[in-house]
């Protein structure tokens, strides 16, 4: 996927990319998507893996923490 293409995502933080059929991780504070070291968008096949990555990627105090 080219950098200029933005996937259609649904959700908050952990988002389902309908086109790629993968979960994507987005930092809702900075609005950036998690990328692999080579610059490609990171994708996860399971929600739990994506959720764990999001908790590390979006570091800020959340309600109840």
Is the residue at 48 inside a domain?
yes
Residues 1-4: contacts with CB under 8 Å, at least 24 apart: 1/40, 1/41, 3/39
Is the residue at 35 inside a domain?
yes
Is the residue at 65 inside a domain?
no
Domain region containing 34:
9-57
Is the residue at 47 inside a domain?
yes
Is the residue at 64 inside a domain?
no
In tens digits, the chain (65 residues) has pLDDT values of 444 455 555 567 898 998 999 999 988 878 889 999 999 999 999 999 998 898 888 766 656 65
**Total Cβ atoms within 10 A of residue 51:** 14
Is the residue at 2 inside a domain?
no
Is the residue at 38 inside a domain?
yes
* pTM summary value: 0.70
Q: Give residue 31's pLDDT.
A: 84
Q: Give residue 65's pLDDT.
A: 59
**How many structural domains does the chain have?**
1
Is the residue at 13 inside a domain?
yes
User: Rounded to 5 degrees, what angle do the CA atoms 43, 62, 28 make?
Assistant: 40
Q: What are the tokens at 36?
A: 């692999």
């Amino acid at each position: 996927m080219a950098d200029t293409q933005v996937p259609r995502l649904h959700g908050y933080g952990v988002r389902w990319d309908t086109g790629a059929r993968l979960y994507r991780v987005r930092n809702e504070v900075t609005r950036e998507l998690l990328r692999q070291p080579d610059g490609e968008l990171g994708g996860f096949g399971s929600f739990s893996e994506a959720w764990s990555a999001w908790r590390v990627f979006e570091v800020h105090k959340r309600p109840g923490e």
